[in-house]
Amino acid sequence: MQMGVDTRPTSPPPPVFEPDDMVAIEPPCHPQEPVKVPEGSQGPYHCLVCRTAFALED
């Protein structure tokens, strides 16, 4: 069995495009761990740490 490695230079991948359509919200139980959600979404939201459901205050 033989194996080889192709060491020819390659072009870098194109940059990743991420639209700016998310906002960070802080759950009341763990404000140090914000949750990113789509802008304009209506919840309910859940904490990433403890999974507690929460709503945003107006």
Kind plus residue range of the DSSP H or E element containing 46: strand 45-46
Cα–chain center distance at 16: 14
Give the pLDDT band (50/70/90) at residue 58: low
* C-alpha count within 13 angstroms, C-beta hemisphere, residue 50: 9
The pTM of this model reads: 0.63
Q: pLDDT digits over 24-53, tens only?
A: 999 999 999 999 999 989 889 999 999 999
* C-alpha count within 13 angstroms, C-beta hemisphere, residue 47: 14
Q: Is the pLDDT of residue 15 over 80?
A: yes
